[in-house]
Amino acid sequence: MKLYIKSLESYLIIICSIITFSAKAQQDPEYTQYMYNTMAVNPAYAGSTGVLEATLLHRSQWVGISGAPQTQSFSIHAPLRNEKVGLGLSVVNDKIGPSDELYLDGNFSYSLALGYEKRLAFGLKAGMRMLNIDWTKGRYYDPNDVLLNQNIDNQMKLAIGAGVYYYTDKWYLGFSIPSFIENDYYDDVQESINYDRLHYYFMGGYVFDLNPNLKFKPAFLVKAVSGAPLTADVSANFMLYEKFVIGGAYRTDDSVSILAGFQISRSFYIGYAFDYTVSELNKYNDGSHEIILKYQFNKNQSKIKSPRFF
């Protein structure tokens, strides 16, 4: 097959770097601002904020590399009137190389009150995955290759996942498996269809009130994929005057990040993250960018603290 590249040597180095990364990381979309996009990985988070909340996120990964991942995520969730049940909807569009995958999930949670400001929530996620692949947009393309002339159009698969989420007004812990069903996914290294593997997520965070105008929140997200080593995201954010957020993060063997955010109003938050690649791949990209918008409706309710840090 023909390989269309400007520099064979540079291309091979990039591929080796991506192979190394792919062996350690997950196949699901990843987020640097996971602490503000929790329902994307754990359905038990639905309804935990106490109000109707909508989140919109865009991520451009490895800017400068053709066909690098691009992810858009939208979620909306709220508790029902009895506050024990939470419902949510999440939509994710993940594009890499010639593939475009759409995730559409409904999220359900049921929480138990374990004491003052303490709740344990159990969550279920059910939905579908829709995969499209246009092989002519790949790095390899040979019009005489039968496999590379069989595009995939709107291939739909079922997805079912679950999670638990324990939280108070100061800290939280969560564990989830976004999908128990192993579906097809696009392998950018092999330029082929492969079987997805189970993903396991364990997360947590704590909010320290350093003084009336300064809060500090360390957080972590550990990710495990069947047959691959653990990876971890560790972050530390400061909130000043309940308005400004600044912090940093580290993803094992992958990147270091700067995070910043601004609480525009009691209801509206905007955040930004920049990832600097620390692997060999940093020679060939200009980093990753991620922006998140979060809006909470009916934020004037007295029972909801303003603003929440998770």
List the one residue out of 92, 158, 160 whose CA is nearest residue 123: 160
Compute the CA torsion angle 156, 158, 164, 167 (nearest 10 deg): 30
In sequence order, the 6+-apart residues with CB closer than 8 A to the CB of 303 are 50
- Measure the CA angle with vertex 117, ends 114 and 121; round to 5°: 55
Q: Is residue 257 very low, low, confident or very high in pLDDT (cuts 50, 70, 90)?
A: very high
Q: Which CATH class is domain 8-262+277-296?
A: mainly beta
CA torsion angle 174 124 292 271 (round to 10): -20
Taking only the tens place, the pLDDT of each residue in 27-40 is: 678 899 999 999 99
pLDDT reading at 133 higher than 90: no
Select from 206, 107, 214, 200 the least CA-distant residue to 166: 206
The half-sphere exposure of 130 on its side-chain side, counting CA atoms within 13 A, is: 10
Rg of the chain over all Cα atoms, to the nearest angstrom: 20
29-to-26, 73, 118 alpha-carbon distances in Å? 8, 10, 30
Mean pLDDT of 70-94: 94
CA atoms within 13 A on the CB side of 220: 11
Q: What is the pLDDT of residue 147?
A: 52
Sign of CA dihedral 290, 126, 119, 232: negative
d(CA 59, CA 70): 6
pLDDT digits 0-9 by tens, 161-186: 999 999 998 999 999 999 888 765 44
pLDDT digits (tens, 9 = 90+) for 14-73: 444 444 444 344 467 889 999 999 999 999 999 999 899 999 999 999 998 888 899 999
- Return the closest-CA partner of residue 18 out of 76, 68, 82, 78: 68
Percent of the chain with pLDDT over 90: 59
Q: How far apart are CA 20 and CA 295, in angstroms?
A: 38
CA end-to-end distance (rounded Å), the chain: 49
Task: Report whether the peptide linkage leading into residue 29 is cis, meaning its omega lies within 30 degrees of zero.
Answer: no
Greater model confidence, 262 or 137:
262
Q: Bigger pLDDT: 3 or 132?
A: 132
CA-closest candidate to residue 245, choices 262, 228, 231, 222: 262
Domain regions of the chain by residue span: 8-262+277-296
Q: How confident is the model at residue 198 (pLDDT cuts 50, 70, 90)?
A: confident
Q: Kindly write down the DSSP assignment for every residue of 202-229, as one continuous string.
A: EEEEE-EEEETTEEEEEEEEEEEETTS-
